[in-house]
Amino acid sequence: MHSDENILKPEITYNETKGLKELIIRYPKVNSKLPGWINLMKMNRYKRFHKLGLEMLARKGFTPDLVHCNIMNPSGLIAKLFKKKNGIPYVITEHWTGYLPSDGRYSNSKILKLSLPKIAKRAEIILPVSKDLSQALQLHNLGNKFKVVRNVVNTKKFFIQDSLKDRFLVVADLENSQKNIKGIIEAFQAFHKTNPNINLSIAGGGNDEMSLKELVLDIGLEKIIQFHGRINAEELNKLLSKSYSSVLFSNYENLPCVIVESFAAGVPFIATKVGGIPEIINNERGILIDSKNNEQLVGAFQKAINTNWDQSKIREYAIANFSYSKIAEEFNQVYKEILGK
């Protein structure tokens, strides 16, 4: 154990309002340059301070009927230990792309392949956010029972606004290996030759941000292709209102929330046929294309500006399938089945 491990003090925030209990524990990061050691220390510190938090909640009368983890790794570890000690069942919502064959991070991790099957098997049910992810989890033998419950989106923050359409919109982490933002810029360069008055807005940040900005400068489209950085929901909704369509040109995905946010604003979506995306995009709500196919993307840009989209119908789909009330209803049904109430 590291020499300072016994003197580390967490920052603890506890809040209780309207019957809801919230405990936030912020604890020191591990400072080490040894890969094996740092992973061991991170896990040790994670378990230690989560145990401290659960003990504090127990002293304040925290007696849950069920634990719901937002992701299997690492929160599932705590749920498994909590179940072992207190007999409290747990469920896991899963949305990590690492399980997908096109991603491979789970398959390439000896630690995860050793620890996660035990966590998954002891869960009452696994709740992947797409059918595609459910198939990947079953392929890895991660869990016994599955039910798809989609990502939830605050559909009240995104809504239809009447604005002049003059652009396409990309909202993504600026990482070419997954999102292929470079491919979008190259396809838009070709599209721009016959549509010089249409812009491209890119919102987000990431490791490839500088190289992408340099690419835009190199092709002389810095006045047409604008980078907005990371923006809030209000700013995003304004950009959506000016957009013919939102765009993703990903090499692999699970089920991005940005698609549903676009739908909630009544804006269609152009995206690649990867992951769970084909499960929610059809001809009424957008255009599906092959990954890495720039020619198809150029054609999709043109089709999007020539299509008379039914904005109200697109928004209604988002509310009916991804709103707080809809997903809460699905979670509540899962809880009732487990608890027998």
CA-nearest of 184, 213, 174, 172 to 292 is 184
Question: What pLDDT does 15 receive?
Answer: 79
Write the CB contacts of 179 (distance below 8 Å, at least 6 apart in sequence): 172, 173, 206, 248, 249, 250, 251
Peptide bond into 117 cis (omega under 30): no
Write the CB contacts of 278 (distance below 8 Å, at least 6 apart in sequence): 288
Residue 198's alpha-carbon distances to 181, 204, 229, 245, in angstroms, are 18, 20, 20, 12
CB distance 112 to 119 below 8 Å? no
Amino acid identity of residue 6, one-letter, is N
Q: What are 81-119's pLDDT values in tens digits?
A: 889 988 999 999 999 999 999 899 999 999 899 999 999
Distance of CA 22 to the CA centre of its chain: 23
Tokens matching residue 73: 């790794």
334 vs 4: CA distance, rounded Å: 43
2 vs 117: CA distance, rounded Å: 29
In what helix (H) or strand (E) does residue 13 lie, and over which residues does it extend?
Answer: strand 11-17
Question: What pLDDT does 82 receive?
Answer: 87
Query: In this predicted structure, which of 5-9, 206-210, 259-263, 326-330 has the lowest mean pLDDT?
Result: 5-9
Report the CATH fold assignment for 167-321.
Answer: Rossmann fold (3.40.50)
- Say yes or no to pLDDT of 123 above 60: yes
Question: What pLDDT does 56 receive?
Answer: 82
325 vs 302: CA distance, rounded Å: 36
How would you list the strands of the sheet with 199-203, edge to edge? 225-229, 199-203, 167-171, 243-247, 269-272, 286-289
Q: What is the mean pLDDT of residues 170-199?
A: 97
Q: What is the mean pLDDT of residues 201-207?
A: 97
Amino acid identity of residue 238, one-letter, is K
Question: What pLDDT does 341 receive?
Answer: 60
Average pLDDT, the chain: 92
CATH 3.40.50.620 fits 65-152+323-341, yes or no: no
| 3-state DSSP helix/strand/coil % of the chain, to nearest 5 | 45, 15, 40
CA-nearest of 327, 333, 276 to 149 is 327
Q: Can you give the residue ranges of every domain in the chain?
A: 1-63, 65-152+323-341, 167-321
Q: Between 313 and 25, name the one with better pLDDT.
A: 313
Identical fold, 65-152+323-341 and 167-321: yes
